[in-house]
A and B are shown apart, each in its own frame.
Chain A
Amino acid sequence: MPLNQDVLWYKDAIIYQVHVRTFYDSNGDGIGDFQGLEQKLGYLQELGVNAIWLMPFFPSPLRDDGYDIADYNSVHSSYGTLEDFRKLLDSAHSKGIRVIIEMVLNHTSDQHPWFQESRSSSDNPRRDWYVWSDTDNRYQGTRIIFLDTERSNWAWDPISKAYYWHRFFSHQPDLNYDNPAVREQMWKVMSFWLEMGVDAFRLDAVPYLVEREGTNCENLPETHEVLKELRRKLDEQFPGRMLLAEANQWPADLRPYFGDGDEFHMAFHFPLMPRMFMGLKLEDRKPITEILQQTPEIPPTCQWSLFLRNHDELTLEMVTDLERDYMYDSYAEDKTMRLNLGIRRRLAPLLDNDRRRIELMNGMLMSLPGTPIIYYGDEIGMGDNINLGDRNGVRTPMQWSGGWNGGFSAAEPDRLYAPLIQNPVYGYPAVNVLAQLGTGHSLLHWMRRIIAVRRSTAVFGRGSIEFIHPANHRILAYVRRLGNEAVLVVNNLSGAAQAVELDLRRYKGNIPIEMFGRNIFPRVGEQPYLLTLGPYQFYWFRLRRI
């Protein structure tokens, strides 16, 4: 299957987020690898995804799951070779799957040779590649992100006898983007991978590239200049490739990252995700409609990327204190589930393994404006292990079968990079791909089905959205439109059956066709359109004027 040549391919994408290490171990060393992932591309193709986003696979001391890169132009030996990666890339493309890789622009590992050189002396040529200071008093207005582990954004380097700036862990010194040599070098790094055939980058932690005194050192105009420069080069030299921004910000602050269509193609909509969980728990559409109403228009070539869960905690940075407390009490009563300002749990445990709620959340993910991202394992309802530190509890091996090591690896279990989920509810004997493939009504089959329905029309990826405001606040209803095509989406956020009257007079004369069963419903007339929905039920109706 050839790759779709449309330059806006990312608007129609279904992205699958996966860490090479976690997916499949082809050589029995207990760690997933490129060859293993390549062998499982058929599974992803059948699932219906057409893009994979690989988490960092570069050489790294792995003190932050690979986000502490020690060499940008190579791959971590545990995952294979650069040649293995090339083969993976080619195989994916041959199956119509694009490959998005991570690029951590903001910082390196403190083990990176650049930093080792930089710290070696104040007159080293690479001294200015990082942000050094004689005091730790500069940039006082900057918040600390990893509150649970860091007390300052400055760390003392005993070798250099100076402080260096870091927005994340202290072993991740920030690069100095005021230095043109750094900007040039990072473009060279990106070019290296683009020339190999990589389709897109997820650029990590982009709001923090540049620091200025008297500011909060986030979202600065100088940072946008750096990003625009990268985009300009990308468009000139590699048209059709894509940049995805990781910027955990409010929608209004995120908007500048799209520029005039000349900065990022895509950005994560971070504030929406916790509000989807909140709306579900509150059984009230208010949090969802409120944040979407606050979301500004973006240029026509740009796109939001939506997700339910990812490799990090369910971040609660972009919510009010009231909302955060509610989310903690609702989804993380056990305090060990909380990390930084978030909740380190997977989708299925967050939703009490309630199939109806899992389906509803995926239904919203697939039908709200944006490109959906599925976190590996969530398509089969994998669980987590909160006894593993940091965010490792949501990064356990993929559960392929109920056999040896869950089908993930032939290694001795104690050699696995992380233990498999073992508990009776979510353990690999109960939750695995093989079993779900053999069960027609499994979550996996359902996910295949909804992805297929989503992909059957461009309206979800490219269409506009118009909210309907029924008096029943438990119902979230909207119409997605693209050209002459219109899809009505009705979601019941409540655990009880609901009746709702929808004002569809604008669509008078249309016949709703339910998109999963393809049954027709009564024609829309002048009167309010009455629907009844079971607990957590949702409908997608194609509106046809026949």
Chain B
Amino acid sequence: MRIVETMSHDAAQATPLLSEMKLAEDTFLTDDFVRQLINVGEVDILVGLPTHNNAKTIGSLVKSIQSGILRWFPRERAVIINADGGSRDGTPELVTGISIDDVRPTSNLNALRTLHSISTRYGNSPTSSAAMRTILSAAELLQAKACVVMSPESSGIEDEWLSRLLRPVRNEGFDLVTPIYRRHKFEGMLLTNLLYPMTRALYGVRIREPYTHDLGFSGRFAGEFLLQNSWENEGDADGSELRFTLAAITGHHRICQVFLGEKEHIERHASDLVPALRQTVAPLFSALEPDFPAWSAVTGSQPVPTTGPDHEVSLDPLRVNRKRLREMFSTGVAELASVFQTILSPSTLTELRGIARMDEGEFRFPAELWVRTVYEFAASYHKSVISRDHIIQSLAPLFRGRALAFLVENRTGSAEDVENNIEAICLEFERLKPYLLEMWKSRE
């Protein structure tokens, strides 16, 4: 490298600089992608689209994004970056094939500038971390001022979403913008029963969607996260979205929430739960170790600036197979007894066994027990009492039990009732935080 040529002979023969070694080894971005980025140059706005076989929805999403750029940011230099995990359905071609001219006839919008859409395939398997890393790398190389990442499954969104996620960054200096959606009261129960209340209790910041696929952020924060986050084991611990949120909190970046409206409901199967836990709960538990100095000192929680309502639930009837949930919970408690003995305290395990034996009509899974269970899992994860992935997997039946209880408790509840219950769970997580600290320290 050039810098070596300016050094003395002896110095040049010495061990290469660390930065040189990293650069030489770092082939994360393909040459073709870098060439495309050179052509784009510096941008004001970067829209990231992590995709994998999203041909059904990506077309309308890209049109909404382009329409949003033309309508709300006509003067800004903008680029759409598609980080694709190896789609076989033509998703990347759809992203790059849609031009402004496709948007213009229906929107009556004019473009001042060239709007670039570029696509790249990363790695060999689709992971959200690799996609995120690609997008953040592009943001760093293009010196993007404001960025947004959107879920490729977000079909039929309004082009105003783009504006809502970007404006706080562009105009008000926020570093992270997380969304709030109008959700069905029983949608996102992992969020309302674990992720939201636990991050709130531990990190002291009330972010309703700490794990999200639609978010806005500053280029400054993107660059910082890219540098500081460990990308080494990205395949083992996916879920960079959550780490991203937590990094914003611990880095004392300015965070706000914006209300986006209806989030299209995506049908999930029972088998989706373990992957979901791996993507969300695992990175949360993992983050507790490096973040210990930050979260251990926090008491209580504070709201973040929010545009629009800070929650909104809908009450339409929803079919849920409660009997199946009940069975999966009871079976799990019985079959994983030996695993739970290594993770849970005897008293917690006894209580869980007790409710596993309850009749369906009297089934209850109190918030206090649920919080203790989760905290004991977190502490065991920290201690690695068994394989960490086994710990995460074994949480699945217990979560199903908690989800069943939530369904039962809120079956006839109004929106306000549901929200009160979620708030009660949050307060329980906050109240029992010393319990987690105690276990954390005792297991050190």
Interchain CB contact under 8 A, B112 and A473: no
Contacts of B36 in A (CB 8 A): 471
**A283–B76 CA distance with the chains assembled, in angstroms:** 11
CB distance from A107 to the nearest CB of B (A): 35
Contacts of B114 in A (CB 8 A): 284-286, 473
Interchain CB contact under 8 A, B112 and A278: yes
Q: Looking at chain B's contact residues, is the secondary structure mostly helix, strand, loop, or mixed?
A: loop
A284 touches which one: B38, B39, B110, B113 (CB < 8 A)? Answer: B113
Interchain CB contact under 8 A, B39 and A472: yes
Cβ-based interface call for B312 (8 A): no
28 CB < 8 A contacts A-B: A278-B112, A282-B75, A282-B112, A283-B77, A284-B77, A284-B112, A284-B113, A286-B111, A286-B112, A286-B113, A286-B114, A287-B112, A322-B74, A322-B110, A323-B110, A326-B75, A326-B112, A470-B39, A471-B39, A472-B38, A472-B39, A472-B41, A473-B114, A474-B41, A496-B41, A498-B41, A499-B38, A500-B39
CB distance from A516 to the nearest CB of B (A): 26
Further pairs besides A282-B113, A472-B39: 20, Cβ < 8 Å: A283-B41, A283-B77, A284-B77, A284-B113, A285-B114, A286-B114, A322-B110, A323-B112, A326-B74, A470-B39, A471-B39, A472-B41, A473-B39, A473-B41, A473-B113, A473-B116, A494-B41, A499-B38, A500-B39, A501-B35
Contacts of B35 in A (CB 8 A): 501
CB distance from B240 to the nearest CB of A (A): 29
**Chain B contacts with A in 87-127, Cβ cutoff 8 A:** 110-114, 116
**A472–B42 CA distance with the chains assembled, in angstroms:** 11
**A474–B42 CA distance with the chains assembled, in angstroms:** 11
Contacts of B39 in A (CB 8 A): 470-473, 500
CB distance from A293 to the nearest CB of B (A): 12
Contacts of A474 in B (CB 8 A): 41
Cβ-based interface call for A320 (8 A): yes
**Chain A contacts with B in 443-495, Cβ cutoff 8 A:** 470-474, 494
CB distance from A141 to the nearest CB of B (A): 23
CB nearest to B114 among chain A residues: A473
CB distance from B80 to the nearest CB of A (A): 14
**A472–B36 CA distance with the chains assembled, in angstroms:** 8
**A283–B40 CA distance with the chains assembled, in angstroms:** 11
A320-B110 contact, Cβ under 8 Å, with A326-B75, A471-B36, A473-B116: yes
CB distance from A252 to the nearest CB of B (A): 17
CB nearest to A282 among chain B residues: B113
A-B pairs with lowest CB-CB distance, top 3: A471-B39, A473-B114, A472-B39
**Quick one: CB contact mask for A368-408 with B, threshold 8 Å, 1 for yes?**
00000000000000000000000000000000000000000
**Quick one: CB contact mask for A497-516 with B, threshold 8 Å, 1 for yes?**
01111000000000000000
Contacts of A494 in B (CB 8 A): 41
CB distance from A5 to the nearest CB of B (A): 45
Interchain CB contact under 8 A, B112 and A322: yes
**A500–B40 CA distance with the chains assembled, in angstroms:** 11
**A472–B35 CA distance with the chains assembled, in angstroms:** 10
Interchain CB contact under 8 A, A496 and B113: no
**A496–B77 CA distance with the chains assembled, in angstroms:** 15
Interchain CB contact under 8 A, B42 and A496: yes
Contacts of B111 in A (CB 8 A): 286
Which among A283, A494, A496 has the highest number of chain B CB atoms within 10 Å?
A283
Contacts of A286 in B (CB 8 A): 111-114
**Chain A contacts with B in 285-307, Cβ cutoff 8 A:** 285-287
Contacts of A500 in B (CB 8 A): 39
Contacts of A282 in B (CB 8 A): 75, 112-113
**A186–B77 CA distance with the chains assembled, in angstroms:** 52
**A508–B241 CA distance with the chains assembled, in angstroms:** 49
Contacts of A499 in B (CB 8 A): 38
CB nearest to A278 among chain B residues: B112
CB distance from B259 to the nearest CB of A (A): 28
**A207–B114 CA distance with the chains assembled, in angstroms:** 33
Contacts of A326 in B (CB 8 A): 74-75, 112
